[in-house]
Structure 1
Amino acid sequence: MSQQSQRHLRRHILAAATLAAVAVPGFAAERVNLSSLDPNRPVEGFIIAYKSGSPGKAADFQRRLDIAVGALGKRSLSIKHARSVSTGAELVETSRPLDVAEATTLMQHIAADPNVEYVEPNSIFHPALTPNDTNYPSQWGLHGTWGIRANTGWDNGYQGQGEVIAVLDTGITNHPDLIANLTTPRGYDFISNAATANDGGGRDSDPSDPGDWCSPNPSSWHGTHVTGIAAAVTNNATGVAGTAFRAKVLSARVLGKCGGTLVDIADAITWASGGVVAGVPAVGANKAGVINLSLGGGGACSSTFQTAINGAVSRGTTVVVAAGNSNADARNFQPASCANVITVGATTSAGARASFSNHGPAVDVAAPGVSILSTLNSGTTTPGAASYANYSGTSMAAPFVAGIVALMRSKPAAAPSPAGIESIIKANVTPFPIPPVPPIGTGIANADAATDATP
């Protein structure tokens, strides 16, 4: 472990009492997040946060981790500190994947120490994507009766000028309908696992999407599609229009082959909003006014997600997230269930709730999410030619709202806070033709009304 890691851990490590391999005390339960454990997905990493001022040294930290592992009775298993997380917590990794029972027991023994604030799995997240449907008119989501009415907002001069939208997704491909609207530099690749990254290495300064195929599924080019909805180049006589077409898009690659991890996503949220991530160059002038998270996983909002989101919001960045595509209560999914975000459900071109859209009190507002035409790539696994396609999902609904945030922020002299932006969007919607049951927010996001209401 490096000296820097030792200095950082010294502020967070454990007190003098040794963690014994005995029954886990009841008080540990409230500090263990088990809700996102998936019996079909083994766990290889855990995030541990320590209470401020906890004493100890790096060696103590490792020793206590070893004791916790010893409680499992698995002699072949080992655990080690991987790195510090931008949220102030620590990432630890095991020598092999653990099943739900092993992961549960290990987290309980780690949390038995009173200096542990919380421990949770480094969960895997995936693009919130539903198979496409090509029966809807092209880009009805921008200008149709039950679209977001971006066209009338554009007529008022609100087109996203001067704003940056961060898209945290699978990365970006070289699409001619996007290139002119990407930041310089284009962004950053936050995927730390070389196998998942699928580009020959871990984190680096190139957010290009090499393909995220995960057998038997081909590459989705999900980030390219989401980016086009948010801010495709417009008025160029080619392809599609974007919601905030005079904004720039900052690409943060967090989803690779078979998904991405909580730690990588959290670090990207911190970075895109202007926070500090060790080893990653500062975002500088490309700091995002809005972050789009068209991704999701199971469980209530993790402490790591919430801490990263709270940090972004404190720096003035609005966070927009997809509600998820499981036709279930969004409170059981993250980041849809997190506080201080705008959670977006999906509607059809008839203004009804999309059958797949998650729902319930965690959903703030709805936006078009069925048969949405946007930029894509024709490659099956690795990149091919630039193309266009219809996708459906709350992944498609979220960037419409992220684009609206950029439109609102581009209004001259406008300086609404993230909380103010959320309040304005929720209060200035197109009413549903028939209120959906279960509910998916206050109405359908309305770019024209929201920009007009922005002070």
Structure 2
Amino acid sequence: MKKLMLSAVILTSLSSPLMADEYFTKAKSIDNLQKKSIQKLSEYSIIVKWKNISNYNNLLQTPESKRVDKRSDLNKYQKHSYKESINVVSGDRDAGINVLANVYSETNLLLKHIRSSSKGVDLFKVQTNKKYKEVYSILMTTGLFQYISENKIIKTNNTYAPKPIPLRNRASNESGLTTPQSFDPEKYNDTYFTNSLYLDEQQAYLMGAHSVLKANDYVDANKVMTKKVRIAIVDTGKWEHEDVIWSEEGVDMVSWNLYSNCLSDDTTNSGMDITCPLADYEEKERDTDPTDKSWDFELDSDGNPIGDGQIKVGGHGLEVASTVAAIRNNAVGVIGSLNANDVELIAVRSLHFNMGLSIDLIDSILWSAGVDIPGVPSISEPVDIINLSLGGNGGGCHFNIALTDAINYAREKNIVVVAAAGNEYIDAKNSEPASCEGVLTVGANDDSGEMGVFSNFGDTVDVTFSGYVNSAFISTYSYKDPDISICINPLTGTSNGRKGCYGQVSGTSFSAPLASALAASIKMVNPSLSEGEIRKVIETTATEYNTDEHGNTNLRSKKMANANIGNYYNAVKSNFNITELDKGLALHHYANYTTPVKEIYLQEMEKLAGKDKVCNSYDLSWGLFAEPVTTITYELYVSNSSDEAMNSANSDLVVDPFNTTRVTPSSIVDMTGFTRVGVKSCKNGSCGSVYELDLTQAQLPNYCVN
């Protein structure tokens, strides 16, 4: 009835050549797309950002904005019985639908509005036989959109099925396993403490360790930050476990009905809801319960459930969280890379079981950064770090502007964004969010320091951490049967239950939280550092390891030229001063113009700008960053001084051609009339000394030599 009433209102306002009944008949047929395969759903689902914010405001609505009373028994179904409009302000819906009708009239592409995101972004389904690239081109020609991105599949970045953790004898090495080299095996009483070699001190034959425990002691003695570091675990959600403390704050941002909710779910997680009765089926919507549980119902061709649903539990979010901050000295399980009392782990569920969609990841990032997301309550305050142990291979972030936009917003709020490089053993430049500018992209190494056999690689990878860790664990199988080996306490031979399972896990999914934990450690001792500075501390204090202890060149030196092995102790002790530059490069702008054809081009350029300008153009880059970083600016100077060192007194400031503050650590400069060039780095207006770039090393094209 409500749909019919809405249609009647909208029909009266359509002013395009499109017949109203045709529009709504076609719009209804788009619903059938949801029953198609995952690939089809992704192909026909697009994320757009309007140029005119009024179009977004007029269409503003979410499935969660409906008030729903699914059951009369409010005590039993209190959790699911009532949903209300949150962060949704009514606009002129008729005008919004009218815009969509005009789009159809102009392009013959029918857009069905699925949900409002935030910041002018909407999710649509498109009914068309055209491929995404063609749809993109057609819609962009309307001039209505800032950008359009495909709503892609995102997956977790773990590899193999977990194994039970072997119990290491603390007194002797009866198991034949490598014993801890530098830390006291009696320091903590956690069951599997001594198995976690990546916590040990980094040293010969154990270069894959990260000096975690040594750094922890330093942080405890030198901590400046008075509040807990807030880390968003953007993943499959949370699981209540004996070894992990979750924040009471959290959100389930999953909107994809790949798996569904169950009205009679067992909130005690005691296994009473392994099967969800057909009568208790509930379509998946967003809410404030990020618990890692859903149910797999068989659906008919119309999308209606036709049988009972079976439980699905991912567990990946729990594994990541325990890698960061599993509780220490509680006589069970493992220990995290941080003291659990120093951090607040906020579960942001963006994935079903082990996969999800871009729109839910994007909204998860923005929610974590403090953006109001329509349909769910806002976070109390932005987080400090966002951990993304997930990804997809869609050609890289330059093809996913919506995701890049979300990450950039988080960085503007001074949030460190950490992403797993991926586990496909391919160049990470094609992975997202791993290839997004400004994220800390983390590859995997093994205990020896060599590259993990599964890890993605390439210039995009910034640093590596162990990809083989021991973690808290839960899965569909252990939920159904808590007596399986991975849940058995090796000391007692009895089951720990569903809240006490542990396993050996692998993947860059677990390298990333080790990096996130280090970012948190740095913030504790030096809270004034920006997100970009924290990333660079981690990168620049990492240990180079290109040749093994026998003098053999290792694989990581060939596959990960920019990525060294993270070292916690080096990083937390670092006296990082971003204002004093010690790195820069000057190249001639036309250095590669050496062929006859390109020399003709330079001759034409000479006619336009003069030979002096052509031959005195240089490309400059400096510092540690490849992208703008919050709070950091630059000043460029030129000089003819014969003084030993350039400074602001013997040099001229080069004004930016757009009269804006320089924030990018690179520039093209015309050196006509000058012989020297240098740059200052400034943080919050406080600048270091002028760092001179060496022009004499720049190779000139033959055209400028003759």
User: Structure 1-normalised TM-score?
Assistant: 0.81
Please give the alpha-carbon distance, in whole angstroms, between the structure 1 residues aligned to 2:228 and 2:312: 36
Match of 1:407 in 2: 521
Partner amino acid, structure 1, of 2:213: N
The amino acid across from 1:305 in the alignment is L
How far apart, in 2, do the equivalents of 1:104 and 1:184 lie? Answer: 42
Distance 1:419 1:153, change over 3 A: same
Where 2:392 maps in the other structure, the secondary structure is strand
Structure 1 stretch displaced more, 204-213 or 266-275: 204-213
Classify the secondary structure of the residue corresponding to 1:119. Answer: strand
What's 1:427 paired with?
540
Specify the alignment match of 2:329 in structure 1. Answer: 235
Farther off after superposition, 165-174 or 149-158: 149-158
Structure 1 residue corresponding to 2:247, chosen from 179, 183, 207? 183
Mark the CA change 1:257 to 1:237 in structure 2 (over 3 Å): closer, same or farther: closer
Which residue of structure 1 lines up, in the alignment, with residue 229 of structure 2? Answer: 163
Partner of 2:470: 373
Which sits farther off after the overlay, 341-350 or 141-150?
A: 141-150
Query: Who is 2:48 aligned against?
Result: 48
Contact 2:156-2:355 at 8 Å conserved across structures: yes
Out of 116, 131, 147, the position equivalent to 1:84 is: 116
Alignment partners' CA distance in 2, 1:40 and 1:454: 52
Maintained 8 Å contact 1:190/1:253: yes
Deviation at 1:263, TM superposition (A): 1.0
Match of 1:295 in 2: 390
Verify: 1:340 aligned to 2:340, yes or no.
no
**Is residue 229–residue 242 contact of structure 1 (8 Å, CA) maintained in 2?**
yes
Matched, 1:208 2:270: no
Letter in 2 for 1:269: I
- Report the CA distance shift for 1:40/1:390 in structure 2 as closer, same or farther (over 3 A): farther
Write the distance in 1 (CA, Å) between the matches of 2:248 and 2:413.
21
Q: Assess, with a 3 A threshold, how the Cα gap between structure 1 residues 391 and 353 changes in structure 2: closer, same or farther.
A: same
Task: Give the superposed CA RMSD.
Answer: 3.2
Q: Which has the larger radius of gyration?
A: 2
Unaligned runs of 5+ in 1: 3-15, 19-37, 72-77
Runs of at least 4 residues of structure 1 off by over 6 A? Answer: 38-41, 53-56, 212-215
Deviation of 1:295 (Å): 0.4
**How far apart are 1:238 and its partner, in Å?**
1.4
Q: Does 1:63 align with 2:101?
A: yes
Paired amino acid for 2:441:
T
8 Å contact from structure 1 (residues 346, 394) kept in 2: yes
C-alpha distance after superposition, 1:371-410 (max 9, x if no partner): x110111542857513011111110100000011111111
Work out which structure has the larger RCO, using CA pairs closer than 8 Å and 6 or more positions apart in sequence.
Answer: 1
Cα displacement (A) at 1:427 = 0.5
Q: Cα–Cα, structure 1 residues 133 and 90, in superposed 2: closer, same or farther, change >3 Å?
A: closer
The reply on whether 1:436 has 2:549 as its aligned counterpart is no
CA distance in 1, matches of 2:443, 2:106: 41
Partner AA of 1:288 in structure 2: V
Q: Offset of 1:284 from its aligned partner?
A: 1.2
Q: In structure 2, do the counterparts of structure 1 residues 379 and 39 end up closer, same or farther at CA, with 3 Å as the change threshold?
A: closer
Helix, strand or coil: the match of 1:430? coil
Q: Is the counterpart of residue 446 in structure 1 residue 540 in structure 2?
A: no
Pairing of 1:345-360 with structure 2 (within 5 A): 345-360=443-458
Deviations 1:79-125 (A, max 9, x none): 31123222432211246xx77x5333333321221332221211110
CA distance in 1, matches of 2:506, 2:17: 53
Aligned pair in 2 of structure 1 residues 68, 262: CA closer, same or farther (>3 Å)? farther
Check if 1:118 corresponds to 2:173.
no
For residues 247-267 of structure 1, the C-alpha deviation after alignment (integer angstroms, 9 at most, x for no partner) is 120000000045111111111
Residue 444 of structure 2 contacts residue 508 of structure 2 at CA under 8 Å; is this kept in 1? Answer: yes
* In structure 2, distance between residues paired with 1:116 and 1:46: 12
CA shift for structure 1 position 42: 4.7
**Counterpart residue identity of residue 177, structure 1:** D
User: Normalising by structure 2, what TM-score?
Assistant: 0.53
- The 10-residue stretch of structure 1 (379-388 or 103-112) with the greater mean CA deviation from structure 2: 379-388
Give, as a single letter, the amino acid of the residue that structure 1 aligns with 2:140.
A
SS at 2:219 equivalent: coil
Residues 169 and 294, structure 1, Cα contact 8 Å, conserved in 2: yes
Q: How does 1:242-261 map to 2 (within 5 A)?
A: 242-245=336-339, 246-257=342-353, 259-261=355-357
Q: Which runs of 5+ in 2 are unaligned?
A: 4-15, 19-37, 59-94, 167-176, 179-194, 263-281, 299-310, 483-497, 549-553, 577-706
Pairing partner for 1:140 from 197, 200, 220: 197
